[in-house]
Structure 1
Amino acid sequence: MIEWSLIEGVYELRLGVEPCNEIGTTMLAALERFLDQVDTESAHALVIRSTVRGGFSAGADLRELYEELRQRPEREHEDALREFIDRIHSVMDRLDMLPLTTIGVIHGICFGGGFELALTCDILIAERSARFGFPELRLGIIPGFGGIPRLRRDVSNAVVRDLLLTGRSINAKKAQQIGLVSQMVPTGEGLRAAMATARQATKFDREAAKTCKRFMKPLPVEELAQEKEHFIRLAQRPVLKLALKKFVESDDPRPYLP
Structure 2
Amino acid sequence: MSLLVVALDAPDREAALELARPLCGVVPWVKVGLELFSAQGPDVVSDLKKMGFKVFLDLKFFDIPNTVRGAVRSAGYCGADMCNIHVLGGERMAEAAVLGRDESAGDMLLFGVTLLTSMTEADFPVDAQGISAPEMALRLAVKAKAYYLNGVVCSGLEVANIKAATAGELLCLTPGIRPDGAAHGDQRRVVTPAEAVRAGSDYLVVGRPITGSEHPALAAQAIQNEMNRAMEERRGVK
**TM-score, length-normalised on structure 2?**
0.28
